[in-house]
Amino acid sequence: MRETLAALADLTRAHFFFVWPLLFCSGLALAFQNYGGFAWELVGRAALIGLFGFEAGLVLNDYVDRDYDRRDVNGALTRYWRPISGRPIAEGRISARAAFAVFLAFAGIAAALAATLPSPHNLYVLGIMGYSYLVEYFYQTKKRSQTLPIAQMVGRTDFALFPVAGYLVYGNPDATALLFFLFFYPWTLAHLAVNDIADIENDRARGMATIPVLYGMQGAIAWTLGFSAVHAVMALVFGLTLGPVALAGFAAGLVLLGAANALILREKSPAAAMRALPLVHATVIVYAAAIIAAAVLT
């Protein structure tokens, strides 16, 4: 039983569990602010949709890449993402069939909860869920053979749409939803490059055409800096629409993101990217907290 629980903790990246409902509910909080009203029951339902929906995507990630993950030669990033031991499917601690069953269970729970939302919000959320799982599969398979970063550009739309789906639990497709996506999408691309710089040794061993594999260390750093800059511009635009509380939180997040970029730019190494990654991830928590605070205090 202990081994099974440890394998599930690694499969689901259990130590990050609180981030997904927080980010998802930041979208919901913004919808409450724009459309009026509030219900704790809806917050709880949304938190569970966000938690199980995102966790299902993480499990799908490991399932699709299970054979390639056996080629890993450096466990640094694996230990960061998986708190107990490593990649449970590749290591044989959980079978591929069992992992796929976990994906179906988590996705089914999230879908069942989303289906209880009033129409058309249920359709919005279910549509984004279905799209995201398809795109996750596309991303994992497309990056095995490409000469242009199509997998990355398309694949990160699923993460960028995640808080937007939280918004659509109560809100409607509108300018705020679009701005949320345009604010978050460049961050997802910058984050992905930092993750891939940290894991470049494994990606070369697996034959994955990630950003640093395609463009080298300098190209990956330029990618990270460029999309971080685009994100900073969109943070200003989005923050100005949300008010001073959100704007201050976004500024704090950009300081963390800037520190991560400076660290990578100075050392230009996978080890630097590993140390920068927690700073990049911290920005998401700061952003989500700032959006929720702005909604509560406005």
Per-residue pLDDT tens digits of the chain, which is 298 residues long: 788 899 999 999 999 999 999 999 999 999 999 999 999 999 999 999 999 999 999 999 999 999 999 998 888 999 999 988 889 999 999 999 999 999 999 999 999 999 999 999 999 999 999 999 999 999 999 999 999 999 999 999 999 999 999 999 999 999 999 999 999 999 999 999 999 999 999 999 999 999 999 999 999 999 999 999 999 999 999 999 999 999 999 999 999 999 999 999 999 999 999 999 999 999 999 999 999 999 999 7
Cβ–Cβ under 8 Å, residues 200 and 72: no
Q: By the 8 A CB rule, do 263 and 275 touch?
A: yes
Residues 296 and 228: their CA atoms lie apart, in Å, by 28
- What is the rounded distance in angstroms from the CA atom of residue 91 to the CA atom of residue 94? 8
Domains and CATH numbers, the chain: 2-297 (1.10.357.140)
Please list the alpha-helical segments (H only) found in the chain.
2-12, 19-35, 40-64, 76-81, 96-115, 121-142, 150-155, 157-168, 175-198, 200-206, 211-242, 244-267, 270-297
